[in-house]
Amino acid sequence: MNASLQSPHGSSIQRGESLGIMKLRVLLVHVGAIAAFFQPLTWPIAIVAVFGYVLRVGGLVVGYHRLFAHRAFLAGRLTQFILAWLGAAGGFRGPLWWASVHRQHHRYSDNPGDPHSPLVGGRWHAHLGFIFEQQHTNLAVVEDLACYPELLWLNKYHYLAPYSFMAALFAIGQWTPWLGATGLGLAAITWGFFLPTLLGIHAIAALNSVTHGVRPNRWSNKQSFETQDSTTNCWWLALPTLGESWHNNHHKYPFSARCGLHWIELDIAYYIIWLLAKLHLVHRVRVASR
């Protein structure tokens, strides 16, 4: 593959971006989110912000996680590329990098070799610090995905997705009245891009730091199944993660497209997958029964 290299151990890898650029981008997301509170907020911008959050976190949850990491369902190349693009727009690097790291996480969950367990590297490292260490994508772990050149391309140039989303928002806010008035470019990107991106990144990262290494308790973290790790279900994290926080359920049945196995366990991501299946955009949806 043109985009791949050989590691010293012979594994096929794809080079990542520089650590300095990654840190700068994460810093800019935080600064931009704070800047939102110094910009005007219109109802149309608020709606765009919520919609953009759901769209991009949905790309991470439905695309990156349940499709690419676990193959809980299958999709045609156009559908899977759209899901990959939306996930990349969420700011969590490329789809193959994410899937390869997550597969390693399941293989060594809460044991040495787990790339983001609070029991191995500490809670901060599990929450966000791990993204500054995984500089290359191990394509040998995701051979089933690396055969798609469009996914390899997006994995290498993943930053184009959030940049294009931000540029489109700025153009709409600055030169059209669709968000309430013209001249709202900065408001559009701070409220509509930076703040939702920040919240989405920390919501997804909290799955590592909040549902691992926390003792089950009567208030938030419960363990429905005995697993070989410390995973728990966290009800209050279900809404911002679109259902990902039924994490103990997920580690019991990682192949399942549905993580909320009980009717009371809200799983918006599964409803999205169900709808896509009804529209014949995805198929072979696998679901565990409790």
Residue 169 located in a structural domain: yes
Task: Mention every residue, 6+ apart, whose C-beta is less than 8 A from residue 31.
Answer: 194
Q: CB burial class (10 A; 0-12, 13-18, 19+) of residue 201?
A: buried
What CA–CA distance (Å, rounded) separates 8 from 188?
A: 46
User: How far apart (Å, rounded) are the C-alpha atoms in residues 273 and 268?
Assistant: 9
pLDDT digits (tens, 9 = 90+) for 136-163: 899 999 999 999 999 999 999 999 999 9
Place of tokens 């005995």: 226
Report yes or no on 290 lying in a domain: no
Report yes or no on 156 lying in a domain.
Answer: yes
Count of domains observed in the chain: 1
Domain assignment present for 117: yes
Predicted local distance difference test score (pLDDT) of residue 5? 43
Overall size of the chain counted in residues: 290
Domain span holding position 255: 5-283
233-290 pLDDT, tens digit per residue, is 999 999 999 999 999 999 999 999 999 999 999 999 999 999 999 999 999 999 997 6
Whether residue 288 is contained in a domain is answered as no
The sign of the torsion formed by the CA atoms of 166, 170, 172, 177 equals positive
